[in-house]
């Protein structure tokens, strides 16, 4: 085999980089002969270098610099030889005349598998969730089969982001950054690869918000002097206070990443970086688990701990395997700031898990190949989502099942159930056993009876009371968060309540069609004749309504498919509505924009300001958010709003424009008690329902009849049924209720 140093001078610098890759791999693959490591990595590099001969990057460098630099990024995960070879070869099948079969012949099945998937993933283009679901699904299929595919993809994406300035198109740079921020950074987070996550987010931040990025970086530079304080004072102070026999492996600290700082400033309305209390985090690495608690005691003798800021992730690990003790103290870095400082205490093995996540579970055989990472709850759930969810439901399930934060709740026996944030007692019951979920009747949380759509919080104890006569209710689909619960509920209702689902699906689609096209389905469901490029018979059209009824598909998706497949009636209506909308907008804009009123919470003249994060304009779809300084106006899809407290929302829209979500007219009958209306408004508040109008009268049988005009920001077509369940549980004198209209 030729030496890597025997190529032309153009490759001299790149050859040196490859030599550094070999040296580092030899450093952590202790049980593999060094010559084997060098030979296998050189073989892949030379093959890739020859295959890419004559190709240049947009920077003007030889193309081979990209796979080599991507491999250097990959080394933080301590990858096996297969992964290193795959990273060096990942662009060969796509950009050269060499094929996957050529690679298989020289490097084996595993390298061929990873490079083949890298070729497929290279064709993904982010155009928003709904248009790329099928492609994203393929990526997650590859991940569930061999997580090393995503290791290589993340390294490839990180180097591309670091060199994205050579991409001349601003639009393309922003598209790639959005894709990275919305798809790849969350995957790195879920896998526990935090260095990759933060590096990807930082590069995206530079592209998408350059002014904010440079402002935060400038403010962070002020704290460089704190590094000297840490080196000279804090570190020695900690060592001096350690109990005898407690070994300290390392003490270091990190500063919050620019993107995390930006999100927190948006979420908490901080004006300056230095106002963030957890800007710094100190890390203390010790040798044994029980020494971590000894270190904790010593820390609390040096600085004052902040109440309610202690978290023991050693006893209760995060879902991605993260373990550490977190405490927050006052007084550290007091020369520069008064805010508290977070301290993380862990063992060396825990620190390795915290740095590289699932990659920490790989062990290396004598051939340099790694054994498969041990199965995790995350991997099992990913496979379950892939197997059971339809494309139309896939991304919502991925967000819930894979990307969301987790909570833990306890059974009455003290067993831990780990669930997505926002999970309910129904999710909890199904996580214990499917039969427990199927027959759930009552749920007690910390000894108190709660409604079944109650959102569980960390550390709560949940008791499920069953009744063999109870069965999964279709309305549960509108609030459960776990895929397991969703699939069990669908399975039961698809078999036993098909007609109810058909009618609910018809109702939901009619509501959407009436709202947007002033059209409804006929008896034969003729509008559903051609859907998704297929000619549907009567049973298949009803099956589509079942999918709507069990929330596997959205009405907007079906309506879009109707339009795409050429419904002349809807097209005519759509064109007419578009012309009317343009005329109205042109007429409105012809007036002085400052004279347009923004209706906030039903009122016209409330003072407000536009939020800096999303920079809304007049006539944008917006929502109001209450702050300490007043009311801020955000775009309805502003990313920062997802992190905010819902209780501070107010509906907002420009005068003459409709608000978003669903409008409901509901009629309810009660015994005339003085507290009933107060109880009802509390229920509406907790369910995030806005009351637009109330009308009360007395019925013939002496009951109070109350008619509500309600508004919700979300299109929850089971909201009325959920509302009745809460009312029945909370208001004893409730007699009956019916839905008058939903649109």
**How many CA atoms lie less than 13 Å away from 361 in the CB half-sphere?**
15
Whether the CB-CB separation of 223 and 261 falls below 8 Å is answered with: no
Strands (E), 440-546: 440-445, 448-450, 462-466, 530-531, 534-535
DSSP letter string, 538-607: HHHHHHHHHHHHTTSS-HHHHHHHHHHTT-HHHHHHHHHHHHHHHHHHHHHHTS-GGGPPEEETTBS---
Q: Could you tell me if 258 and 213 are in contact, meaning their C-beta atoms sit under 8 angstroms apart?
A: yes
How far, in Å, CA of 88 to CA of 54, rounded?
Answer: 17
Tokens of 700: 């013939």
**For residue 605, with 0-12 CB atoms within 10 Å meaning exposed, 13-18 middle and 19 or more buried, which class applies?**
exposed
What H or E segment, with its residue span, contains residue 75? none
DSSP conformation class of 643 = G
What is residue 9's DSSP assignment? G
Give which of 701, 137, 67 is closest to 388, Cα–Cα. 137
Using the CB atoms, write b or e for 106-144: b if 16+ within 10 Å.
Answer: ebeebbbbbbbbbbbbeebebeeeeebbeebbbbbebbb
Q: How far is CA 680 from CA 23, 444, 675, 685, 707, in A?
A: 69, 22, 9, 9, 12
DSSP code, position 456: P
Active site (annotated) includes residue 522: no
Query: Could you say which of 94, 312, 355, 455 is catalytic?
Result: 94
Distance (Å, whole) CA 740 – CA 126: 41
Beta bridge partners of 62: 56
User: Catalytic one among 24, 53, 95, 463?
Assistant: 95
Asked if 95 is an active-site residue, the reply is yes
Active site residues: 94-95
């Amino acid at each position: 085999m030729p030496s890597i140093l025997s190529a032309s001078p153009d490759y001299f610098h790149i050859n040196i980089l490859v030599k550094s890759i070999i040296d580092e791999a030899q450093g952590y693959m202790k049980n593999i002969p060094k010559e084997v490591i060098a030979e296998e990595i050189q073989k892949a590099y030379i093959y890739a270098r020859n295959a890419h001969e004559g190709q240049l990057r947009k920077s003007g460098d030889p193309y081979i610099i990209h796979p080599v630099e991507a491999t250097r990024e990959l080394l933080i995960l301590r990858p096996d030889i297969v992964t290193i070879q795959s990273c060096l070869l990942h662009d060969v099948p796509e950009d050269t005349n060499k094929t996957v079969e050529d690679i298989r012949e020289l490097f084996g099945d595993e390298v061929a598998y990873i490079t083949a998937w890298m070729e497929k993933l290279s064709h993904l283009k982010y155009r928003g969730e709904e248009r790329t679901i099928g492609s994203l699904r393929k990526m997650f299929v590859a991940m569930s089969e061999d997580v090393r595919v995503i290791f290589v993809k993340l390294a490839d994406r990180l180097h591309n982001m670091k060199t994205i300035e050579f991409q001349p198109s601003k639009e393309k740079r922003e598209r790639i950054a959005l894709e990275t921020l919305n798809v790849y950074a969350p995957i790195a987070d879920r896998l526990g690869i935090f260095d990759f996550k933060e590096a990807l987010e930082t590069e995206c931040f530079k592209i998408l918000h350059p002014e904010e990025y440079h402002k935060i970086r400038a403010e962070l530079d002020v704290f460089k002097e704190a590094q000297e304080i840490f080196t000279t004072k804090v570190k020695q102070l900690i060592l001096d206070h350690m109990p005898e026999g407690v070994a300290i492996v390392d003490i270091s600290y990190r500063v919050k990443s620019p993107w995390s700082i930006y999100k927190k400033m948006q979420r908490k309305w901080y004006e300056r970086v230095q106002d963030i209390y957890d800007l710094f985090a100190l890390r203390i690495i010790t040798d044994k688990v029980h020494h971590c608690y000894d270190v904790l005691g010593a820390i609390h003798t040096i600085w004052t701990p902040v109440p309610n800021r202690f978290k023991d992730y050693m006893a209760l690990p995060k879902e991605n395997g993260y373990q550490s003790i977190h405490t927050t103290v006052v007084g550290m870095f007091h020369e520069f700031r008064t805010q508290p400082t977070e301290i993380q205490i862990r063992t060396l093995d825990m620190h390795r898990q915290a740095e590289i996540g699932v990659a920490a579970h790989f062990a290396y055989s004598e051939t340099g190949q790694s054994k498969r990472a041990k199965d995790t709850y995350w991997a099992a759930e990913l496979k379950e989502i892939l197997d059971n969810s339809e494309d139309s439901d896939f991304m919502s399930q991925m967000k819930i099942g894979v990307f969301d934060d987790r909570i833990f709740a306890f059974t009455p026996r003290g067993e831990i159930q780990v669930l997505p944030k926002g999970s309910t007692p129904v999710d909890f019951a199904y996580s214990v056993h499917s039969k427990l979920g199927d027959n759930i009747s009552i749920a007690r949380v910390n000894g108190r009876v709660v409604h079944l759509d109650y959102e569980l919080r960390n550390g709560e104890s949940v008791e499920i009371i069953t009744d063999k006569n109870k069965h999964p209710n279709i309305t549960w689909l509108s609030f459960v968060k776990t895929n397991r619960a969703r699939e069990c509920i669908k399975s039961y209702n698809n078999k036993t309540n098909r007609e109810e689902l058909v009618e609910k699906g018809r109702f939901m689609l009619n509501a959407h069609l009436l709202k947007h096209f002033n059209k409804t389905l006929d008896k034969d469901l003729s509008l559903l004749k051609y859907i998704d490029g297929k000619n549907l018979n009567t049973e298949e059209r009803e099956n589509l309504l079942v999918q709507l009824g069990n929330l596997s598909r959205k009405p907007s998706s079906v309506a879009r498919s109707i339009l795409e497949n050429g419904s002349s009636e809807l097209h005519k209506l759509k064109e007419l509505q578009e012309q009317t909308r343009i005329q109205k907008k042109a007429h409105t804009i012809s007036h002085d924009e400052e004279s347009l009123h923004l209706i906030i919470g039903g009122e016209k003249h409330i003072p407000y300001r536009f939020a800096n994060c999303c920079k809304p304009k007049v006539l944008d779809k917006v929502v109001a958010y209450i702050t300490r300084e007043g009311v801020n106006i955000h775009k309805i899809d502003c990313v920062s709003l997802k992190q905010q407290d819902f209780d501070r929302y107010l509906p907002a829209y420009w005068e003459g424009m409709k608000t978003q979500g669903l409008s409901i007219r509901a009629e309810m009958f009660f015994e005339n008690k003085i507290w009933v209306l107060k109880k009802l408004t509390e229920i509406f508040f907790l369910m995030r329902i806005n009351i637009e109008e109330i009308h009360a009268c007395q019925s013939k049988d002496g009951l109070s009849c109350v008619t509500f005009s309600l508004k919700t920001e979300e299109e929850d077509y089971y909201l009325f049924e959920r509302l009745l369940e809460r009312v029945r549980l909370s208001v004893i004198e409730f007699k009956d209720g019916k839905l008058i209209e939903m649109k």
